[in-house]
Structure 1
Amino acid sequence: MVNNGAPRWETAILDGGPADGMRVRVADRPSVLQVNRPCAIEDPQDGVRDPREGVHVAALHIYRRDLKVKSEPLRYGFDGVSP
């Protein structure tokens, strides 16, 4: 849904999962949203510097658009079996 070449922004609500109830703005009604939550990385027990320093780990959560909802706020439901 493009309006004169500019993206159309709409409000959406996330249902279920770790972002339940969160309101977001989406452009052009994407079919899937990705939510990331950072994971803590533990320090090595032996005090040796980890060669993966600078690596970040995040839990990935997928939300799929409810195609029955045609007007704002759009709704995205948590997909617990994805990816």
Structure 2
Amino acid sequence: MVKFTALYFGPVKEALGKDREEISIDGQVTVQGFKQWLGYRDSQIANILGSSAMCINLEYVDDEDEIHDRDEVGIIPPVSSG
């Protein structure tokens, strides 16, 4: 089981009503696997996850990267300026 902290920003934070939570997922998990898991659990953010940047412990990562115990995983939605 992998236990880590998920950090939420922008519209993901607003939709979920929280800025962080502790996550536990059985087995090994990649960034893509976490995005799929979260999108299935909270379908209102599924479309945002596909275009969001992801970071682990303050470093941007790819979908294939693994999440490990005690990592901090940030979901950073697209930002627009006007």
Normalised by the length of structure 1, the TM-score is 0.43
Larger Rg: 1
Select the structure that is richer in strand.
1
- Higher-RCO chain (CA-CA 8 Å, sequence separation at least 6): 2
Select the structure that is richer in helix.
2
Normalised by the length of structure 2, the TM-score is 0.43
